[in-house]
Amino acid sequence: MSKVGFVGLGIMGKPMAANLIKAGHQLFLFTRRSVPEDLVAAGGTACASGREVAERSEIVITMVPDTPDVEAALFAAGGIAEGLSPGKIVVDMSSISPIATKTFAQRVDGLGCAYIDAPVSGGEVGAKNATLSIMAGGPQEAFDKVKPLLDAMGKHITLVGGNGDGQKAKVANQIIVALTIEAVGEALLFAARAGADPARVREALTGGFASSRILEVHGDRMVKRTFDPGFRIELHQKDLNLALSSARLLGISLPNTATAQELFNACAAHGGKAWDHSALVRALEIMANFEIGESRPDRSPSDQS
């Protein structure tokens, strides 16, 4: 059993912390809001600050929305860094800037501690079911020490390279996810507007080469119009901003990533920044003046033209 600190108990962090408690670890918890009572009832200990979490833990995990949030959790007054002592390990599981990650790692290293960036993929469902994919960056020795904790939260865990490389892998992941959501949205919109039943089209496609987890899960959301997050559009916008700003620094073009970002921007402009990212299809529907849910199996293309 390890003494583990966990800072950030939102949509993703709360079930991840719960799985660590289930695995038998002693959890010390802090979040900007009050620590959820069910985590305390399960055996977690609520703390008054990130500093207290770090003082009482051997390994501290952060799971917060964005780069400034990680910086504040680590280095603001009363933050985690103030409670660290040599030999402890910080594991940031947020999705943030790879460049800032290297800076944070250097500052934590300077305190005699180790730093692992370990962003995740799999969404709320993966967090609850402990099936997250985890992409880590950092020293092998520290990774080996935290691996049992990662095993309690995920199923596919990879040490990609040094500090920052986990975040680079996550940015790449988010590019693929955004473009696949866009492709699924276009496909189902086409089929629905042409008069086919989008639910049955989706079912047919899941058995072929076009099958994907996104077609299975987010295609279902598009058909059923269930756009409660999940993973909010505003967070995917943040991730694609990282991709596009990094691409400019690297001197490369990511044209379809830019298109996906513009579709997310259109959703946000229509009040959808808190929609699930599968709702990217709404931007396509607005341009088409047609919603997937409007299709009927008994309506032919000529009926809808």
Predicted local distance difference test score (pLDDT) of residue 295? 54
How much is the average pLDDT of 39-67? 97
Position 180 pLDDT exceeds 90: yes
Whether the bond between 272 and the residue before it is cis, its omega within 30 degrees of 0, is no
What is the distance between the alpha carbons of residues 55 and 36, in angstroms, rounded to a whole number?
21
Position 299 pLDDT exceeds 60: no
**pTM more than 0.85:** yes
How much is the average pLDDT of 183-211? 97
How much is the average pLDDT of 40-52? 98
Position 303 pLDDT exceeds 90: no
Give per-residue pLDDT as tens, 56-83.
Answer: 999 999 999 999 999 999 999 999 999 9
Predicted local distance difference test score (pLDDT) of residue 302? 44
Point out the residues that are catalytic: 170
Predicted local distance difference test score (pLDDT) of residue 229? 86
How much is the average pLDDT of 241-267? 97
